[in-house]
Structure 1
Amino acid sequence: MATLLEEANGHPWESVRSALAGAEGQPHPRIAALASHLTATKRAYWTLISAAAAHAEAIPVPHPPDDAGLTRLMEWEVAAARALPESALGLMVTHSGQTVTVSDLLRLNARHTAWHAGQIAALARRERSA
């Protein structure tokens, strides 16, 4: 799971980090909104994971740092995913009214990240008109 998140977050070719790097000059305003959205959703996913681990008395999973922007949060979450014990992957969480495993939520996180990386990359290529 950690590798999947690491690739969606920071792979040199197809990731949020590479898409943001392609936004030169005055980027499209939607890019900032997507980055903010990703930051909020990643923080929400990891807050659910941390609460589930605490409830199950599994190895403690720290809450995501409140003061981290998207880049630092992506680095934090890869380290947190690497530190998750295998037993934590089967814990149940409720997200958007559906009960899923932590493993399911981490895969959703990676898909969600890749989806928005593509949107950011498309917007980064658009020329801005004055």
Structure 2
Amino acid sequence: MTAEQFSSAALATLLEEANQHPWESVRSALAGADGQPHPRIAALASHLTATKREYWTLIAGVANTVSPPPDDAGLTRLMAWEVEAARALPESALGLLVTHSGTPLTVSELLRLNARHTAWHAGQIAALARRERSA
């Protein structure tokens, strides 16, 4: 299966699950960070916000049908925004090329990378959220 065979709806679902699913998502991992969370959690959330902005700025640069992400959106709002933006992408935009970290990728491949990257950091946040802090 090639990356172009993933529909906009399927890519939106991947992002929705990585971002918001009640289990194994950024939202569920952050919900588990009670009390005084590990300082690395804030750094990971900031990193996710920055990378999601970067991905969508690249996509907006090649796909006339999507705007760049809202400048004032934090991670929670940005995650909701990107699911709707992915869902609204026309299928013709999924094969457009962008360059991320010196690597040419299709929009579809970049959105799959986004979902994997999000899930990776959700796992890190969940692990840190369970870790006890010592004063």
Short-chain TM bin: over 0.9
Alpha-carbon distance between aligned partners in 2 of 1:36 and 1:53, rounded to the nearest angstrom: 26
Aligned partner (choices 20, 23, 33) of residue 10 of structure 1: 20
TM-score (norm 2): 0.92
Aligned partner (choices 47, 55, 80) of residue 45 of structure 1: 55
Post-superposition CA distance 1:8-51 (Å, at most 9, x none): 00000110000000000000000000000000000000000000
Identity %: 86
Other structure's SS at 1:128 match: coil
Match of 1:79?
84
Gaps of 5+ in 2: 1-10
Post-superposition CA distance 1:44-97 (Å, at most 9, x none): 00000000113xxxxx21110010000000000000000000000000000000
Alpha-carbon distance between aligned partners in 2 of 1:86 and 1:44, rounded to the nearest angstrom: 21
Gaps of 5+ in 1: 55-59
Alpha-carbon distance between aligned partners in 1 of 2:87 and 2:25, rounded to the nearest angstrom: 19
Alpha-carbon distance between aligned partners in 1 of 2:51 and 2:32, rounded to the nearest angstrom: 23
Runs of 4+ in 1 over 2 A off after TM superposition: none
Alpha-carbon distance between aligned partners in 2 of 1:63 and 1:127, rounded to the nearest angstrom: 38
Tell whether 2:110 aligns with 1:101: no
Alpha-carbon distance between aligned partners in 2 of 1:52 and 1:33, rounded to the nearest angstrom: 29
Match of 1:88?
93
Q: CA deviation at 1:104?
A: 0.2
TM-score (norm 1): 0.95
Match of 1:57?
none
Alpha-carbon distance between aligned partners in 1 of 2:80 and 2:63, rounded to the nearest angstrom: 20
Alpha-carbon distance between aligned partners in 2 of 1:127 and 1:98, rounded to the nearest angstrom: 39
Alpha-carbon distance between aligned partners in 2 of 1:53 and 1:17, rounded to the nearest angstrom: 28
